[in-house]
Each structure stands twice: as structure tokens, then as C-alpha cells.
Amino acid sequence: MDIALFIVFAVIAVLCGINLVVQTHPISSALSLIGVMGALAVLYLLLGAEFLAAAQMIVYAGAIMVLFVFVIMLLNAGAERITPARQLVKVIGVPLMAVFLGIVAFVIQGLLPRSELAWFGGFEGGGPRDVGIALFTRYLLPFEVTSVLILIAIIGAIVLAQKEID
């Protein structure tokens, strides 16, 4: 049953990720990103990391996506126009991306040593204590840099919206 659920939600995550890139309207892309985040939360649940799944839904699918949608609406972004060059990129880009992903997979499989397989429910480090210790010791600098980048993005959106109003 775990394998079937994993496959279903992995496919949902991949399809929503593809839809995120393919959509021409930014709100539709943001909704696709929420689908990716929800599918990832279910995958965390399948691995036995309940706290990470809850944090994924609350922080990313909730707070960050509300921020994204707010910024998109603040900037009043419309749908992207399709140009002939974009059609050419779609025709050439898809086979080139498939070749690129095949080469990357081949290189990664050849360079990395074999590791033991993960089993569902076997993850032990997903509790709040483990996440807190890792976040505020080993990953403190990336955590703080990310918060500063989000603050800069909010200020940039306000400045862009202010110019449009004036």
C-alpha cells in the first residue's frame, strides 16, 4: 500500500511541477506549486516524518504561498503572451531537456556509491527537537539568509507597486 501511495503522490508532485513551469498565468503557477507542496507533505508522512509534513503544509503551502499570491496580485501580473520564439523553444527544449536529464542521471548513478534503501516509516529524525537543533546549529546561516531574501522580495514588491500607483 505504501508503494502505491508513494507512486500516486510522486506522480502528482511531478505533474504539478511540470504544470508550474508550463502555465502562462502566474496565479495558476502558484496554485500548481501548492499542489507540489501538498504532495511532498504526503511523501513526508509516508516516510514517518509527521512533524516535517505538518511544517511543510503550514509554512510552505500556507504562509509562503499566501505571500507569493499576495505579491503576484500586488504586481497585477497578467497572463504571458505566446510568441513564435516561445513555440520554437517548446519544440526544441523538450527533447534537449530529456537528453540533459538522461546524462545527469547517468553521471549521478556512476559517480555516487550505492547506499542502503530507505523503507517507509524508517525515518527517525523528523521530530521537532531534531529539526530545531539542526535548524539553529548547522543550518543557522542559510535560515537567516533566506529570511533576509524574503524580506528583500517583499520590499521590492512594495516598491514596484508604489511606482505603478504614482
CATH assignment of 2-107+124-165, given 1.20.1250.20, 1.20.120.1200, 3.40.1790.10, 1.10.150.20? 1.20.120.1200
Q: Which residue type sits at 165?
A: I
Q: What is the pLDDT of residue 47?
A: 83
- Residues 10-46: pLDDT tens digits? 999 999 999 988 887 778 888 888 899 999 999 988 8
**Across residues 107-135, what is the average pLDDT?**
77
Q: How far apart are CA 7 and CA 42, in angstroms?
A: 11
- Residues 53-79: pLDDT tens digits? 888 888 887 777 777 777 777 776 666
Q: How far apart are CA 47 and CA 43, in angstroms?
A: 6
**Which helix (H) or strand (E) element contains residue 16?**
helix 2-22
151-160 long-range Cβ contacts below 8 angstroms, 24+ apart: 153/71, 154/67, 154/71, 157/71, 157/74, 157/75, 158/74, 160/75
DSSP 3-state of 138 = coil
| Cβ count near 53 (within 10 Å) | 20
- DSSP of 140-161: HHHHHHHHHHHHHHHHHHHHHH
Of residues 61, 68, 59, 84, the one with CA closest to residue 26: 68
Q: Domain spans of the chain? A: 2-107+124-165
Looking at 45-49, 84-88, 97-101, which range is the least confident one? 84-88
